[in-house]
Chain A
Amino acid sequence: NAGVTQTPKFQVLKTGQSMTLQCAQDMNHEYMSWYRQDPGMGLRLIHYSVGAGITDQGEVPNGYNVSRSTTEDFPLRLLSAAPSQTSVYFCASRRGANLGYGYTFGSGTRLTVV
């Protein structure tokens, strides 16, 4: 199994550009989420989904959109990139409601906005 696959691994954007970070999982997990990781800030939840067709905002949703048309895919869209969105982005999935299952994280997308 591939687990959680994120593409691209690295990206440089100019301010104002838009792009989509891709996330796919092959474990049939219901729960998926997007986090950003910044130095000194830990991981912060951007958006999450508890199943196909169901999404909701996390702690830092501004400037990002998500959709969940299938169980496998959960893309994150940056609408108009800003330097403050320079970060490492992680997609994660979880098998079910029990936190003890643990999240399976992707390897991250390193995004720089200039």
Chain B
Amino acid sequence: QKEVEQDPGPLSVPEGAIVSLNCTYSNSAFQYFMWYRQYSRKGPELLMYTYSSGNKEDGRFTAQVDKSSKYISLFIRDSQPSDSATYLCAMSINAGGTSYGKLTFGQGTILTVHP
């Protein structure tokens, strides 16, 4: 069983829809949670970063972490065609320092937003 599970999709929605992307994990030691966005033929870029449980909002994006259920989500409101990309969740036990803050990634969800 993978430490981090993510539905690979693909997910196809009309422009303006609310998108929900999810990951589950098995290691309760994870404390730092991230969402990366990856456009086709590009490297991933950090979209959202949260520590421990709770919500974080940034414009049209909201990240939620529920550590009791070992479940994280990314919501995209008023989705746009420019949001079409692969979304990867990532998590870490620690932030860095001498142990580097190794990230464990989900498999990625392919999202297409149709005009």
Counting residue pairs across A and B whose Cβ atoms lie within 8 Å, the total is 68
Instruction: Determine whether the beta carbon of B45 is less than 8 Å from that of A105.
Output: yes
The interface centre, meaning the residue of A43, A50, A94 with most chain B CB atoms within 10 A of its CB, is A43
Residue B96 is within 8 A (CB to CB) of chain A in the complex: yes
Instruction: Determine whether the beta carbon of B43 is less than 8 Å from that of A31.
Output: no
- Given A40-B8, A42-B88, A45-B103: A50 and B43 interface contact (C-beta under 8 Å): no
Give me 15 other A-B pairs in contact (C-beta within 8 A), A97-B101, A99-B96 excluded.
A42-B107, A42-B108, A43-B103, A43-B105, A45-B103, A50-B100, A90-B44, A94-B96, A97-B97, A98-B96, A99-B32, A99-B95, A103-B46, A107-B42, A108-B41
Chain A residues engaging chain B, CB cutoff 8 angstroms: 4, 31, 40-45, 48, 50, 56, 58-59, 90, 92, 94, 96-100, 102-108
Selected A-B contacts with CB under 8 Å, 11 pairs: A40-B8, A42-B4, A42-B106, A42-B107, A45-B103, A90-B43, A94-B96, A97-B97, A103-B46, A106-B43, A108-B42
